[in-house]
């Protein structure tokens, strides 16, 4: 029987078949619904780039008033959990031991001449800070926290002594879009891109290859199914699955993880659709070309999942990457999606950012889906 | 449409096809008759599947023309697809979908709607006897039921031409017979059927056959036509007084004989020229031995076309030392199963099975798909733990010292179990290493195997790309490198052409002569004839055991002689079915 590129009955029958396969395969349900929630909680609670309270060991060799006052400032800091060396523990070697064992993240030595130097204005009263350079993030945090404490202590001292506080200007930071600089607020939206990549590329990389491996493709090709029907029947069910998973992600993000969504849900929906289109396209392309589930899944992992985590700017800032890698990141659709996601969640509907990113996502989706259409066989030797 | 020419439903003229420059089909011309079953026969790699795919329009021929009901499979693809039913080797059933859902899918794809749809479903479900299983996922059907469902799905669009690619592979004799009846009924209704098969007994039942070998069409006509050319050339040597394997070996060396196989206690031989018999005395077959002329079969003709079977001497066996037993081992029970039972959940796969195998015996495990042969087999070679009962090899209990027992046995798995992406040489090196051979001894053994099996030209070839016959040789060589006194063979010849099968059995017979004990499972009923004794496993139990001749006698009706092994099998299984029904 001759018909156009799409016969609705064929398409529906194929979509229904695909849906049964999704629903009956526990692994696809696991990937689509359990994995996203799990990942969201890991990114939401497990990974936290803010070091909320750092344990600092203090070796107080000087019992003078200045030294003790400084120690009190340290104890009062909301960012530090101060562990004062006491008794035998109050020695450099004992504290070093603690640092090596990871019980404290840094140690501060207040030398025995600290108070006297401060009082007598003999030279500079220096303090020694030892931190674990293997964790540069924490080390840097600790350094800036201590700088802050030092400033507070100097101000207090000046006020106590009735001296004018010698500050020429102060920096008043205001963190826009994420006023409390909670890393969860940008990590969690970013992680949605990873989840969508997993569903889009990883899941679909299996589906066409599976038909080849099980011999079902050969049987389908001998019926009057057209290329368009075949392709659409792979895209539509997985698109629906992906969008349901996306909605689930947004609900978990906003309601359970308390990450605010400033932009419109519908724009988020459209942007996600575009990204999913690109992911589905890539997954189907790999599946179509390799005709082998294992190879397709491995390639999808390397071509989609890893770049989406590492080069999308969702954890690692693109601006601080080497220039070549920055160039490469322009080829990663997840980059545009992460940018759009972070904008939508934290800033709202900033049109020019959304539109530019959407344009790139659309281009990527068209590219991969087009390539898949080109490579979809209607014969075994195509 | 113009009226169809009477010549045939499918006409093929000077068809050539190449894969990457390698010819798969060379100059095929034929006409396939409407309303007939045409058997497409040939060894693996002879081009059967390629020809079917070309007819189905799934491949584009390098040159030549194909017309199916006057349509070109490529140019008129969309028109043709509505008239064509194609069932690939691994039919495209969706295993997660139920029987009914599979039918629904294919009905939608061929636009079958309304009352016609329901009528088709009803008819096909009755036809295939699957009506009781509509709610069962296709993946949970037995091999035979899957094939029947595949056929039902293929038939939904009421095709005029039906292409079946090896529909009976991996299907037990009972299901094969049912499938055959179904297709026969379709041909009767005017459908053109092409049935590709490697079973020659099946091809013999076709109206027409196309015999293919290495991409060439060797014969085209009614099977009886070619069988008739063999008249007077098929004989049986009966009442052997001596060792049948030794006699076969001698017989195959006679210039008058081109092919020979064991049939129970007799030998079936094919003569080079009708009436020219070999000298009976020289065969050392005993005082009562005599020749009887028997009906020739298609396999005889096929072997004749291919230039005769392989010789009777196994270089491998000549090379092997005599397998001796330690004095404390009872030669009457080298392999022993006692009340062997294996339960998976609430399903008993093997139910109190008993047998003993003597030294130097070929013992066959036969049974339909899912009967429990493989489970039993795996327990015997220590790959699976019995739930209860005992499996012993050379007096060693596999439950307690499986690895010690395994050192005594060679195992050849059902599927090609070597490393496909290693070369032949690397596979040999690896397996000899596993068996503990090192240094000079290892190299010598590998060289021996290469010489014995003529593997020299393929030493650096990846195992996966070897021709099937050579894969078979490599697998066997890897199984016997440590000179095991016991050999386990799990469906060793499934999908292998008759010549390679004979060659394989020559080796096995030779090894047995050296005192090796062999346990084998098989689907080929004529292969069961090679066995000294057979246990027929059905629904987890042994329903019959004995020599092939004894089993045949058991299944024969009064006055009946010479029933085939296949018939024996079917009757014994059916008898067991009815007995169980009575018991229930």
Of residues B79, B95, B108, nearest to A2 (C-beta): B79
Q: B87–A25: do the CB atoms touch at under 8 Å?
A: no
Average pLDDT over residues B250-270: 89
- A13 contacts in chain B (CB < 8 Å): 104-105, 108-109
- Model confidence pLDDT, tens digit, residues B410-463: 888 877 778 888 999 999 999 888 888 888 989 988 998 898 888 888 888 888
Q: Which residues pair with B165 in a beta bridge?
A: B196
Structural contact between residues A70 and A153, judged by C-beta atoms closer than 8 angstroms: yes
| Chain B residues with CB-CB distance to A223 below 8 A | 81, 106, 109-110, 157
When mean pLDDT is compared across A115-129, A330-344, B63-77, the lowest value belongs to A115-129
Cα distance between residue A207 and residue B578, in whole Å: 45
Instruction: Please say whether the beta carbons of B334 and B533 come within 8 A.
Output: no
H helix or E strand, kind and range, residue B17: strand B10-19
φ/ψ of B414, rounded to 5, equals -60, -50
Confidence of residue B495 (pLDDT cuts 50, 70, 90): low
> Nearest-CA distance from B344 to chain A in Å?
22
Pick from A87-96, A229-238, B385-394: least confident: A87-96
Nearest CB among B88, B93, B109 relative to A225 is that of B109
What is the distance between the alpha carbons of residues B348 and B351, in angstroms, rounded to a whole number? 6
Residue B307 pLDDT > 90, yes or no?
no
Rg (CA), chain B: 25
What's the pLDDT score for residue A47? Answer: 67
What average pLDDT is seen over chain B?
A: 86
In B, minimum Cα distance to A212 occurs at B92
With pLDDT > 70 as the criterion, what percentage of chain A qualifies?
Answer: 93
Shortest Cα–Cα distance, B61 to chain A (Å):
10
pLDDT classification of A336: cutoffs 50, 70, 90: very high
B17: nearest CA in chain A?
A381
What is the percentage of chain B residues whose pLDDT exceeds 90? Answer: 28
Taking the CA atoms of A128, A133, A136 and A137 in sequence, report the sign of the dihedral they define.
negative
| Gap between the terminal Cα atoms of chain B | 59
The pLDDT tens digits for A138-165 are 888 888 888 888 888 888 888 887 777 6
pLDDT value at B349 more than 90 = no
Kindly list the residues from chain B whose CB atom is less than 8 angstroms away from the CB atom of residue A222.
56-58, 81, 84, 86, 88
pLDDT of residue B4: 43
Of B86, B89, B111, the CB nearest to A222: B86
**Mean local confidence (pLDDT), A314-333:** 86
The whole-number pLDDT of residue B7 equals: 53
Q: What pLDDT does residue A149 have?
A: 87
| The predicted structure's pLDDT at residue B39 | 94
B92-96, B155-159, B365-369 — which is least confidently predicted? B365-369
pLDDT at B352: 92
Cβ count near B151 (within 10 Å): 22
What local confidence, expressed as pLDDT, does residue A1 receive? 43
pLDDT of residue A266: 92
Interchain contact, B92 vs A1, CB within 8 Å? no
| B60–A218 CB contact, under 8 Å | no
pLDDT of residue B2: 40
Express the helix, strand and coil content of chain A in percent, nearest 5 each. 65, 5, 30
Distance from C-alpha of B473 to C-alpha of B484, rounded to nearest angstrom: 17
The first and second tokens of residue B261, run together, are 């196989």
Position B5 scores a pLDDT of 44
Q: Determine the average pLDDT of the residues in A75-89.
A: 81
Q: Which residues of A touch B93 (CB under 8 A)?
A: 216
What pLDDT does A69 receive?
87
User: Do residues A168 and A316 lie in contact, with contact meaning Cβ atoms separated by under 8 Å?
Assistant: no
In whole angstroms, give the CA distance from residue B554 to residue B558.
Answer: 10
pLDDT at residue B161 greater than cutoff 90: yes
| Secondary structure letter of residue A164 according to DSSP | P
Nearest to A215 among B58, B84, B90 (CB): B90
Cβ distance of B89 and A215 shorter than 8 Å? yes
* Distance separating alpha carbons of residues B164 and B49, to the nearest angstrom: 10
Contact B97 A21 (CB under 8 A): yes
CA distance B486 to A291: 41
Which of B71, B80, B92 to mutate: most A Cβ within 10 Å?
A: B92
Strand boundaries in B190-334, DSSP class E:
192-197, 208-213, 216-221, 234-238, 257-263, 266-271, 290-293
State how beta strands B266-271 and B257-263 pair.
Answer: antiparallel
How many Å apart are CA B244 and CA B266, to the nearest integer?
A: 7
Question: What percent of chain A lies above the pLDDT cut of 90?
Answer: 21
Closest to B92 (Cβ–Cβ): which among A10, A13, A215?
A: A215
Q: Using an 8 Å CB-CB cutoff, list chain A residues near B60.
A: 379, 381
Q: Which domains does chain A have, with CATH numbers?
A: 8-47+183-375 (no CATH), 54-160 (3.40.1710.10)
Strand partners, B66: B12
Distance (Å) from the C-alpha of residue B1 to the closest C-alpha of chain A? 14
Which residue in A214, A224, A379 is closest to B109 by CB distance? A224
pLDDT tens, residue by residue, B352-361:
999 999 999 9
Which tokens is B529 given? 């004839």
pLDDT tens, residue by residue, A243-276: 998 899 899 888 888 888 889 999 999 999 999 9
Give the pTM. 0.78
Which of A219, A229, A291, A292 best probes binding to B when mutated, by most B CB atoms within 10 angstroms?
Answer: A219
The pLDDT score that the predictor gives to residue A167 is 63
Q: Which domains can be identified in chain B, with CATH numbers? A: 10-227 (3.40.50.300), 232-312 (3.30.70), 318-408+484-583 (3.40.50.300)
Average pLDDT over residues A302-324: 85
Position B328 scores a pLDDT of: 80
Residues of chain A whose beta carbon is less than 8 angstroms from a beta carbon of chain B are 1-2, 7, 9-10, 12-14, 16-17, 20-21, 24-25, 211, 214-225, 378-381
Residue A379 and residue B57: Cβ atoms within 8 Å? yes
Residue A166 has a pLDDT of 64
Across the interface, whether the CB atoms of B56 and A219 are under 8 A apart is answered: no
pLDDT value, residue B405:
81
Rounded mean pLDDT of A209-223? 87
Q: Cβ B105–A21 below 8 Å, yes or no?
A: no
Compute the average pLDDT of residues A16-25. Answer: 91
Residue in B closest to A24 by C-alpha = B96
**In terms of CA atoms, which chain A residue is nearest residue B61?**
A381
Query: What is the distance, to the nearest Å, from the Cα of residue B130 to the centroid of all Cα atoms in its chain?
Result: 26
Could you tell me the two tokens for A98? Answer: 């603690």
Q: How close A299 comes to chain B (CA, Å)? A: 20
Q: Do A219 and B88 touch (CB under 8 A)?
A: yes
Tokens of A87: 């008794």
- List pLDDT tens digits, range B543-556: 999 999 899 999 88
Question: pLDDT tens-digit profile of A187-204?
Answer: 888 888 888 888 888 888
Tell me the angle at which helices A227-251 and A351-375 cross, rounded to the nearest 10 degrees.
150
Task: Determine contact, residues A75/A153, Cβ cutoff 8 Å.
Answer: no
Query: Does the structure show a pLDDT above 90 at B195?
Result: yes
CA A274, CA A363: separation in Å to the nearest integer?
Answer: 9
Task: Transcribe B511-555 into DSSP letters.
Answer: HHHTT-EEEEE-S-HHHHTT-SEEEEEETTEEEEEE-HHHHHHHH
Which residues of chain A does B110 touch, with a Cβ-Cβ cutoff of 8 Å? Answer: 223-224
According to DSSP, the β-strands at B362-366 and B533-538 are parallel
pLDDT of residue B3 exceeding 50, the answer is: no
User: What is the DSSP secondary structure assignment for residue A128, as one 8-state letter?
Assistant: E
- Per-residue confidence (pLDDT) for residue A142, from 0 to 100: 85
Provide the pairing of β-strand B396-397 with B409-412.
unpaired
Q: How close, in Å, is residue A210 to chain B by CA atoms?
A: 11
Whether B93 sits inside 8 A of A216 (CB atoms) is: yes
CB contact under 8 A, A17 and B56: no
Tell me what ipTM this predicted complex has.
Answer: 0.73
Predicted pLDDT at A96: 86
């Amino acid at each position: 029987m001759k018909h156009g590129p799409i016969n609705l009955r064929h398409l529906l029958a194929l979509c229904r078949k695909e849906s049964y396969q999704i629903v009956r395969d526990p692994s696809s349900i696991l990937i689509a619904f359990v994995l996203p929630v799990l990942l969201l909680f890991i990114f939401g609670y497990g990974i936290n780039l803010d070091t909320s309270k750092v344990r600092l060991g203090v070796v107080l060799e000087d019992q003078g008033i200045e030294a003790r006052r400084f120690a009190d400032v340290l104890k009062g800091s909301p960012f530090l959990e101060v562990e004062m060396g006491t008794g035998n523990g109050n020695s450099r070697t004992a504290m070093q031991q603690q640092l090596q064992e990871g019980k404290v993240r840094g140690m501060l030595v207040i030398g025995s001449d600290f108070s006297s130097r401060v009082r007598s204005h003999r030279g500079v009263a220096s303090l020694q800070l030892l931190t674990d350079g293997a964790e540069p993030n924490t080390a840097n945090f600790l350094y800036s926290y201590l700088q802050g404490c030092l400033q507070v202590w100097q101000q207090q001292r000046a006020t106590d002594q009735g001296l004018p506080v010698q500050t020429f200007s102060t920096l008043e930071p205001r963190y826009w879009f994420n006023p409390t600089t909670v890393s969860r607020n940008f990590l969690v939206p970013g992680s949605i891109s990873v989840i969508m990549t997993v569903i889009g590329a990883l899941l679909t990389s299996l589906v066409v290859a599976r038909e080849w491996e099980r011999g079902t493709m050969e049987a389908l090709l001998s019926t009057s199914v057209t290329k368009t029907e075949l392709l659409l029947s792979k895209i539509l069910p997985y698109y629906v699955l992906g969008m349901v998973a996306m909605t689930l992600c947004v609900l978990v993000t906003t309601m359970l993880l308390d990450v605010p969504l400033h932009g419109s849900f519908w724009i988020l929906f459209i942007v996600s659709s575009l990204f999913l289109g690109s992911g589905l396209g890539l997954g189907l392309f790999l599946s179509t070309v390799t005709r082998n589930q294992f190879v397709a899944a491995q390639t999808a992992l390397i071509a989609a999942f890893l770049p989406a985590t590492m080069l999308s700017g969702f954890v690692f800032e693109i601006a601080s990457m080497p220039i070549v890698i920055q160039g490469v990141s322009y080829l990663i659709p997840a980059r545009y999606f992460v940018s759009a996601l972070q904008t939508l969640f934290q800033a709202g509907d900033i049109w020019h950012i959304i539109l530019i990113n959407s344009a790139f996502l659309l281009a990527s989706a068209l590219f991969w889906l087009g390539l898949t259409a080109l490579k979809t066989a209607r014969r075994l030797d195509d | 449409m113009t009226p169809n020419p009477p010549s045939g439903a499918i006409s093929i003229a000077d068809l050539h096809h190449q894969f990457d420059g390698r010819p798969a089909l060379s100059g095929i011309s034929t006409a396939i008759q409407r309303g007939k079953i045409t058997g497409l026969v040939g060894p693996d790699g002879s081009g059967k599947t390629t020809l079917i795919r070309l007819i189905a329009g799934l491949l584009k021929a390098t040159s030549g023309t194909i017309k199916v009901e006057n349509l070109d499979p490529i140019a008129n693809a969309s028109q043709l697809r509505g008239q064509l039913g194609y069932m690939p080797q691994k039919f495209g059933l969706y295993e997660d979908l139920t029987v009914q859902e599979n039918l629904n899918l294919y009905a939608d794809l061929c636009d079958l709607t309304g009352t016609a749809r329901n009528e088709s479903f009803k008819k096909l479900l009755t036809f295939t006897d699957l009506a009781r299983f509509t709610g069962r996922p296709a993946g949970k059907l037995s091999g035979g039921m899957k094939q029947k469902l595949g056929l039902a799905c293929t038939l939904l669009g009421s095709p005029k031409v039906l292409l079946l690619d090896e529909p009976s592979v991996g299907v037990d004799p009972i299901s094969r017979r049912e499938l055959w009846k179904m297709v026969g009924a379709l041909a009767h209704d005017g459908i053109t059927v092409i049935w590709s098969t490697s079973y020659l007994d099946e091809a013999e039942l076709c109206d027409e056959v196309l015999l293919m070998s290495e991409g060439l069409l060797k014969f085209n006509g009614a099977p009886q036509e070619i069988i008739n050319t063999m008249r007077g050339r098929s004989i049986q040597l009966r009442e052997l007084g001596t060792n049948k394997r030794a006699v076969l070996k001698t017989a195959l060396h006679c210039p008058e004989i081109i092919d020979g196989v064991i049939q129970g206690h007799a030998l079936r031989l094919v003569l080079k020229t009708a009436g020219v018999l070999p000298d009976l005395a020289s065969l050392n077959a005993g005082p009562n031995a005599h020749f009887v002329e028997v009906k020739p079969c298609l396999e005889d003709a096929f072997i004749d076309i291919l230039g005769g079977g392989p010789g009777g001497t196994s270089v491998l066996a000549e090379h092997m030392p005599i397998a001796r037993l330690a004095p404390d081992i009872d030669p009457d029970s080298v392999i022993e199963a006692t009340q062997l039972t294996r339960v998976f959940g609430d399903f008993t796969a093997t139910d109190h099975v008993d047998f003993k195998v003597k030294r130097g015996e070929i013992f066959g495990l036969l049974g339909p798909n899912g009967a429990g042969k493989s489970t039993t087999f795996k327990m015997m070679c220590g790959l699976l733990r019995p739930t209860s009962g005992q499996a012993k090899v050379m007096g060693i209990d596999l439950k307690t010292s499986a690895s010690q027992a395994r050192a005594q046995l060679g195992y050849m798995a059902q599927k090609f179990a070597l490393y496909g992406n290693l070369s032949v040489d690397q596979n040999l090196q690896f397996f000899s290493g596993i068996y503990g051979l090192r240094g000079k001894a290892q190299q010598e053994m590998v060289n021996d195997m290469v010489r014995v099996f003529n593997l020299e030209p393929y030493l650096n070839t990846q195992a996966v790309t070897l021709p099937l016959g050579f894969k078979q040789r490599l697998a066997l060589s890897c199984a016997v490198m440590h000179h095991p006194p016991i050999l386990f063979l799990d469906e060793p010849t499934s999908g292998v052409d008759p010549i390679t099968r004979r060659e394989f059995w020559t080796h096995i017979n030779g090894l047995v002569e050296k005192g090796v004990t062999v346990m084998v499972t098989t689907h080929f009923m004529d292969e069961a004839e090679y066995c000294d004794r057979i246990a027929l496993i059905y629904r987890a139990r042994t329903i019959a055991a004995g020599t092939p001749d004894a089993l045949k006698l058991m299944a024969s009706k009064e006055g009946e002689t010479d029933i085939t092994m296949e018939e024996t099998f079917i009757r014994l299984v059916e008898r067991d079915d009815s007995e169980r029904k009575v018991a229930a």
